[in-house]
Every structure is written in structure tokens, then in C-alpha cells.
Structure 1
Amino acid sequence: MYIFSKGLMSYNSVLSGLVLQTFLTGPTAWFVALVGAAITAVITATLMYFLGNFDFPILTLPFILFAWFVLLSSYKLDSIKLSDSLSPQSLANWELHIEGKINLLRATFNGIGQIFFVTEAIPGLLLFIAVIWASREMGSTTGRRIAMDLLQGWWRDV
């Protein structure tokens, strides 16, 4: 019962549903996302059962395996269609432009928000406050990681 009360069974399912709904298109996208979330829950339970004996954490492995399986199977299955945002791109002429000033607020909290598919700084700040509220230890660890990430980004620009 512990894994259900902590949300461990639903996290991978939510991620699978989000990614499939985001990157699939067509009339079957919602159906594939819902069925995919259910299948991911079964994969999560199976991996927890088999890998739990070895004290091996599965983390987001079920989500990654199933999402890649569905996204790659779309090339062979006509009923699953990829979104145009996932069309292959030519990297031969691609250039990375990283000039400009760093927005400290956005750089600080954008990474936290991206974990939950949120790309703005204010929701990231709210998530950081929620982490601190839930556990001061995890909040301080998250704060240290943010500081290390900012220093790493600054060091690369020097």
C-alpha cells in the first residue's frame, strides 16, 4: 500500500500520458495516451517486482522504455502519427547561438519547472517553494544544485 499512497505507481503513467499526448497527433492520440498510461503502470509494477529484490530503483525507466517504444513504432504503425514537432531535422547546418545576457530568475527556476513540463520561471519558483515546504533537507539540496548549475553556466561563459 506504501507505493500507492506515495504516488509511485502513477508518476510514470502521468509522464507517459503527457509525452504521448504532446508528441502524437490525430484522432487516436488521446486513446493511445490513455492506454499507454495504463500499460506504463503495469510495466512499473512488473519492474518494481523483479528489480526490487536487487534494491535497484526503477525511477522513470518504465516511462522511458514505453514512450520510446510507442514513438518509434509510429514509423511502422499507420494508426499512430507523430506530431510535426518531432519530425527529423538536418543537423548539418544547425548552429547554436548562446550570446546574450542571462536572466537570473529564469535561469534559477526554469530547470525545476522543466521537470514538470513547465517552461516558465514563476511556476518553477512555486515548485521550489513546495519542495522546501515538503522537506527542508530536499529544499536545501535543490538550492545547492541550482547554485552549482548557475556556476557551471557562468564558468562556461568565462
Structure 2
Amino acid sequence: MSDADDTSPRKQLIDSALTIPRGVGQVDFQSNVWTGLIFIVALFAGSWKFAVFGLLGTLTGTVTAYLLGAAWDKISIGLEGFCGTLVGVALVLYLGVNWMTVALVIGAVVATSVLTSAMATVLAPYDLPTFTAPFCVVTSVVAIGAPSYARVWAGHTDTPPPSASDPGTAMSWHDLWHGFFNGVGQVFFQDEWYVGLIFLIGLAVASRIVAAAAAVSSLIGLLVGWWLGAQAADLGAGLYGYNSVLTGIALTGTFLALTPVGAVYAAIGAASAAALTAGITVLFDTVGGHTLTWPFVLVTWVFLAAVPLFSRLRRAG
């Protein structure tokens, strides 16, 4: 037996294990293992519950995709795990830590895995990725329906925005710099500035361009929200920045070729995601849902779908 044969099972095991941090990293479109590990550290810095439930979601999504026979090249770089990460973090935030939440996360992530493949099939003719849309659909359904189930909602209350207890539109320096970092952290539902800083460091490990796109997009989202008159406490919590961050990263070299015109296009997309945030928030507030990453998904789909008719823009790759 050759040395290559001796190490093959170990390499396969390591490759399988690395799908988990890659899945966490893919929330921000990064398959870099070190970025994923730093993201996990950031989740633990926010709270152990976010890290544990996020990893539960990532693992469940990855295993489900493998058992259903999804392509290994997608599984290995984390593309079958990142929506599960977000489902896990979101549901523990909205429903709290209990065994019912564990069961719901597992069930919701299995549904998300199936929906991911279904949406990929539907969107393939348009050359559009699913992004976080499967997470948005499944988590919205769970969040809206949860109050109807006593064992799910027992002892739980709604999670109001920061502005509910601290209204006002006058943005302070504190709101500005906290909002800048929180715009990055809120991609994972984290509202502590230092957690957002750790996420930004993780992005820089993968790519300085990606980290710069995230930073600029967070600032764009913050300023657009301020200019339109959003509540200062919500701006400081990063609620107007995180969808801009995802949109900016997606359109700055990830799915759209990085050119001067493309960079301006990405900035417009980031601003659009921030502007759409309030409308989506009000819409879902009426039915008990949450904004999630819907603004990012909708804006980025539109901006990518429009590219073939713009001669100065081209898709990446």
C-alpha cells in the first residue's frame, strides 16, 4: 500500500471536517478555512448559544446535502452549510435556548437544504445564485408561525428593535462607529461592535478587497439610513448596514467583475439595500416576521439580472 493510500482516508476526514468552517465563512461568500474559524470565534464572542446553534445548523445542512447526494464540490467549499448557519443563529435569537429550538433548527435546516436545491434549479436559467433566500423563506415561516405553538413560544416575547426603547433620529458619534462595526456583525445577528470587528478581521484574512468592500458598504448603509431619517439606535445597532455589506461583497468581484464602473454599481446596490430595509421591516412587522437578509437577496438578484444589458458591466468569472 502506498503512502498516498495510507493518507487518503485521513485527508478525506480532514476535508469533511473543514466543510464546517467553510460553511460558516460562506455566509459572507468566503470558503477560506481560517476566515470560517475566525467567524466561529466571533460567534462565541457574541455568545456561546450563537456559536453552538450556528454550528448545529451548518453541520445539519452539510450532512443533509451529503445524504441526499448533492455534488461534493459544492459541499466541500461550504455552499451547502451557510444557510443552515444563519437558520441556527436566527432561531436561537428569536426562540431562546431550549430543546424545542434544537429540534426546530434541525428540521428547519433540513427543509432549507431541500429548498436550496429547488431554488437553484428554478434560478439556473437566469444564472442567479440562491444566496440566502432559502434561509429567508424557511426562517420567515418559522418566525411567523411560532407564536401559534405553545411549546415553541412559551415564555417568549417579541424581539423589538433598539429604537423601541430609545427613539430619535439624531445620530451621535457613538451610533456612527458602533453602527459601522455592527453593520458587519449583523450579518450574523450580532450587535456588539467588537464582534463585528472580529468578523471584519476574518474577511481581511480571506481578501483585503472583500474586507474593504464590507467596510465601505457598512458605511454606505449607515449613511443612507441616516440621510433618510432612520432611528439612530437602529443605525447604531447595524440594522441598516448588514444587507448593504452582503450586497457590496456580492457585487464587488464575487459575482460581478471588479472594474471602476462595477465598483460604482456595487455602491449603488449597497445603498439600495439599505433604502429597502425599512420597507421590508414594516412589511414583516405586520405579520410577525423579520427583515433577515431579504433586502440583500432582492436587490442583488435585480442588479445581477440587469448586467447582460449593460455593456460596461460583466459577471465575474
Instruction: Tell me the TM-score range normalised by the shorter chain.
Output: 0.7 to 0.9
Q: Name which of structure 1's ranges 74-83 and 29-38 shifts more when overlaid on structure 2.
A: 74-83
Counterpart of 2:208, as a letter, is R
Cα separation, 1, equivalents of 2:80 and 2:153: 27
Change (3 A) 1:87 1:155: closer
Match of 2:139 in 1: 67
Change (3 A) 1:24 1:82: farther
SS in 1 for 2:84: helix
Match of 1:21 in 2: 92
**Matching of residues 30-109 of structure 1 within 5 Å:** 30-81=102-153, 84-86=156-158, 96-99=167-170, 101-103=172-174, 104-109=176-181
SS in 2 for 1:33: helix
Summarize deviations over 1:41-91 as a string: whole Å, max 9, x none.
121122123322321221111111111212223354454326633279xxx
Q: Name which of structure 1's ranges 17-26 and 44-53 shifts more when overlaid on structure 2.
A: 17-26
1:124 aligned to which of 196, 216, 236: 196
Cα separation, 1, equivalents of 2:142 and 2:226: 38
Which runs of 4 or more aligned residues in structure 1 lie more than 6 Å from their structure 2 counterparts after TM superposition?
Answer: none
* 1:146 correspondence with 2:249: no
Contact 1:128 1:139 in 2 (8 A): yes
Counterpart of 1:18, as a letter, is V
Cα separation, 2, equivalents of 1:152 and 1:81: 35
Cα separation, 1, equivalents of 2:224 and 2:185: 19
Match of 2:33 in 1: none
Note the aligned Cα RMSD (angstroms). 3.0
In the superposition, the TM-score normalised over structure 2's length comes to: 0.42
Change (3 A) 1:57 1:77: same
Counterpart of 2:190, as a letter, is V
Contact 1:20 1:67 in 2 (8 A): yes
Match of 2:76 in 1: 5
Match of 2:241 in 1: none
Counterpart of 1:145, as a letter, is S
Gaps of 5+ in 1: none
Match of 2:233 in 1: none
SS in 2 for 1:53: helix
Cα separation, 1, equivalents of 2:166 and 2:181: 26
Tell me by how many angstroms 1:155 deviates. 5.0
Change (3 A) 1:100 1:74: closer
Cα separation, 2, equivalents of 1:94 and 1:154: 18
Tell me by how many angstroms 1:151 deviates. 4.3
Counterpart of 1:140, as a letter, is A
Counterpart of 1:9, as a letter, is E
Contact 1:3 1:9 in 2 (8 A): yes
Counterpart of 2:91, as a letter, is L
Match of 1:112 in 2: 184
Change (3 A) 1:77 1:2: same
Change (3 A) 1:109 1:30: same
Q: Name which of structure 1's ranges 125-134 and 145-154 shifts more when overlaid on structure 2.
A: 145-154
Match of 2:270 in 1: none
Tell me by how many angstroms 1:6 deviates. 2.3
